[in-house]
Amino acid sequence: MRNLAAGKFAAVVLGLSLSAAALAADAESGKKIFVQCSVCHATDGRNGTGPGLGGLLGRKAGTAPGFRYSRAMKASEIIWNETTLDAYMAAPQKVVPGNVMPFSGVPDAAARKDLISYLATLK
């Protein structure tokens, strides 16, 4: 009985470390996808052609200090999380009609997942 419990515990720990490793791998490949964003977006609070993306997850759309957003983005009422980012990155103009990001999106779902794992690491 005790051994069984210990075995279960080991399996849980193993499962957890595997998923942490998987997440790190996702973020690593997401970093490569981010290269196409980095022409416009910094990974910290600095604004360029696009707003800085540091601390993006949990932030309300259109609120990076000092960035001049479109009215569409400011009025979108979106909170950036895995779900909203996945939708926006799939079809930016469909999700925020009239936003001025000159980028057509990331069509591949797996690539978007990796990209969002990477965005989640930006503090």
The residues of the shown chain that bind ligand HEC, judged by CB under 6 A, are: 36-37, 39-41, 49-51, 56, 61-62, 64, 69-70, 72-73, 80, 89, 99-103, 106, 115
User: Sign (positive/negative) of CA torsion 64, 69, 74, 77?
Assistant: negative
Q: Which one, 8 or 71, has the nearer CB to ligand HEC?
A: 71
Question: Rounded distance, CA 23 to CA 67, Å?
Answer: 31
Q: Which one, 16 or 109, has the nearer CB to ligand HEC?
A: 109
Q: Which one, 26 or 51, has the nearer CB to ligand HEC?
A: 51
Question: Rounded distance, CA 69 to CA 56, Å?
Answer: 15
Minimum CB–partner distance for residue 74 and ligand HEC (Å): 7
